[in-house]
Amino acid sequence: MVSISIVCLLSLFLLLPSPTITAAFNYKSALSKSILYFESQRSGHLPHTQRATWRHHSGLADGLQQGVDLVGGYYDAGDHVKFGLPMAFTVTMLSWGAAEYGEEIAAAGEERHVLEAIKWGTDYFVKAHTEANVLWAEVGDGDTDHYCWQRPEDMTTPRQAYKIDTNKPGSDLAGETAAAMAAASIVFRKSDPHYSHLLLHHAQQLFEFGDKYRGNYDKSVEKVRSFYGSVSGYMDELLWAALWLHRATGKREYLDYAVANGVFFGGTEWSIKEFSWDVKFAGIQVLAAKILLLKEEPLTENHQKVLQQYRAKAEHYICSCLNKNNNGSNVLRTPGGLLFVRPWNNMQYVSTAAFLLTIYSDYLTAASEKELHCYEGTVPAADLLDFAKTQADYILGNNPNGLSYLVGFGRRYPTRVHHRGASMVAYRESQGFIGCTQGYDEWYSRRKPNPNVIVGAIVGGPGLRDEFLDERGNYMQTEACTYNTAPMVGVFAKLNSLAQTNLSKGSLPGGLKCLGSSELAAEQN
Ligand SMILES: *[C@@H]1O[C@H](CO)[C@@H](O)[C@H](O)[C@H]1NC(C)=O
Ligand SMILES: *[C@@H]1O[C@H](CO)[C@@H](O)[C@H](O)[C@H]1NC(C)=O
């Protein structure tokens, strides 16, 4: 395989007047690994099909004290708290990717895996939504959890569960969970209509609950405040939920809601340079712009006017990523070209930006709009995708450190990911109990690489000068989160499909089909 590829590359160099070939990445492998990552983060009873075999059952009594079955769901990062808000955002982003790029994902043979990854989250949300106006928000708490360094299988920390209800509301959490279930209902519509309908039912109830009983969830569940406090409040999540419900049901009432509340809730007002589990305005604005761009339904003059305002803000976000706004309102970049928002887990903002740029490029193209108008000039629609590709390629190793920030991809990647389970001997290999602080003494403080490679995790990533320190204690850079990887699933699916198109165009004269550089990359991975 290697020798054929090299022959191919050589012949390309000979044939082309000015060779511009750079080693492309194997996006298919990146896609598969990204989806596999979610298996490492599973809580609950693992199925026999579990492919991340260094993990085992955990959290099997979650909810028992409260008399509710809260077994399942995802750990958010390197610890074992089940935080509802980032978990729901993760599932929304996985579902958005699958809703946009379902065909590309299926062509890469990953349809079943991505559905499983989404369902692992939505099954948990179904359990956690025990009554119309009750949603379990969190299991475990950050303070006691972080006191220990243990495998999830050995967990001895308190598993207190916290809920929101009519007395203790949480419109942000209810809204995000509604968005996740509505988005997932679109993905399951064909393969499992019954499940899709169930998710939609929960989504509608949760949206009503969040809208009727308004408040920030971190006021009701104070334990969450220093970990996933809702800085942007709940208005963005209510708009987000309404737009997802509109997309899932086609019902006019949800669009009317987003239009009527555009100003008051800030959807048409905020120009924001980041998109995250907390701050959703850019995502809302892109979703709203799609309705206008794709003209999928008749719109009143007022709808059009307000959607146009949403669109202007969406494009402000896109232009800020492209460095095309007037100064002061662009996203910083590292010397190596990575978007930079802030030092702690910067990669989360990179992956959400790569996702929004990728789909916005597709929306513009589908609307036959050839360019985007930014303050600093017009940008061809294709450039959005090209820029998203630079960010994906940076993540995969095209960066000053020559390091892939997608764990398990390429030859060099972080080996001391800040992750309890990955940093300790696999349960399968040694079932002897490892105590709370014993893990710190025997595993956390070791210099050696983690014994388990947490394939597909995207770590927090480098700092403002591209600097990165691969140390377990450097959690700002080496901890991985589910919401870092989730948006990249759609991006890798799109890039893989484009790379396949490139390959099929790359046949050489004389019948020798050039396998091209991405096959070379396949050898490396
Ligand atoms: C804005 O741009 C001008 C001209 O390009 C430049 O002189 C000025 O320093 C910039 N201001 C900021 C805040 O970056
Ligand atoms: C496909 O080919 C074009 C033209 O050579 C290149 O600019 C682009 O980056 C390629 N895309 C992928 C995903 O490999």
What does the pLDDT read at residue 11?
41
What are the tokens at 71? 């077994």
Ligand 1 neighbour 328 (Cβ under 6 A)? yes
Q: 340 C-alpha vs ligand 1 centroid, how far in Å? A: 19
What is the domain partition of the chain in residue ranges? 17-505
Ligand 2 neighbour 499 (Cβ under 6 A)? yes
**Ligand 2, closest atom to CA 496?**
13
pTM to 2 decimal places: 0.92
3-state secondary structure of 518: helix
Determine the straight-line distance between the first and last CA of the chain, rounded to whole angstroms: 13
Q: 273 C-alpha vs ligand 1 centroid, how far in Å? A: 19
* Partners of 332 in the β-ladder: 340
What does the pLDDT read at residue 51?
98
Among 327, 330, 375, say which to mutate for ligand 1: greatest number of ligand atoms within 8 Å of CB: 327
**Ligand 2, closest atom to CA 386?**
9
Choose among 229, 240, 291, 244: nearest CA to 266.
240
Nearest CA to ligand 1 atom 4: 327
What does the pLDDT read at residue 506?
74
Give me the catalytic one of 303, 316, 418, 419.
418
Provide CATH code, domain 17-505: 1.50.10.10
Angstrom distance (rounded) from CA 361 to CA 370: 9
One-character DSSP codes across 417-472? -S-TTTTS--TTT--S---TTHHIIIIIT--SPPSS--TT-BB----TTS-----T
Nearest CA to ligand 1 atom 6: 327
Separation of CA 507 from chain center:
35
Ligand 2 neighbour 426 (Cβ under 6 A)? no
Residue 469, number of CB atoms within 10 A of its CB: 13
Q: 327 C-alpha vs ligand 1 centroid, how far in Å? A: 6
Q: 433 C-alpha vs ligand 1 centroid, how far in Å? A: 59
Angstrom distance (rounded) from CA 440 to CA 420: 9
Ligand 2 neighbour 504 (Cβ under 6 A)? no
What does the pLDDT read at residue 23?
56
Angstrom distance (rounded) from CA 146 to CA 106: 39
Ligand 2 neighbour 498 (Cβ under 6 A)? yes
Ligand 2 neighbour 24 (Cβ under 6 A)? yes
Which of the residues in the chain have pLDDT under 70?
1-23, 507-525
Nearest CA to ligand 2 atom 2: 502
Angstrom distance (rounded) from CA 424 to CA 53: 14
HSE value, Cβ hemisphere, 13 Å, CA-based, for 139: 31
Residue 277 near residue 228, CB atoms below 8 Å: yes
User: Any residues with CB less than 8 A from the CB of 73 and at least 6 apart, and which?
Assistant: 43, 44, 82, 87, 120, 121, 124, 128, 139
Ligand 1 neighbour 49 (Cβ under 6 A)? no
Angstrom distance (rounded) from CA 130 to CA 152: 25
Nearest CA to ligand 2 atom 1: 502
Active site residue 57: no
Q: Using DSSP, how many helices (H) and how many strands (E) does the chain show?
A: 19, 7
pLDDT digits (tens, 9 = 90+) for 288-337: 999 999 998 999 999 999 999 999 999 999 999 999 999 779 999 999 99
* Partners of 459 in the β-ladder: 480
What are the tokens at 272? 């924001």
- Tell me phi and psi for residue 170, to 5 degrees: -165, 80
One-character DSSP codes across 335-402? TTS-EES-STTTHHHHHHHHHHHHHHHHHHHHTT--EEEETTEEEEHHHHHHHHHHHHHHHHT-STT-
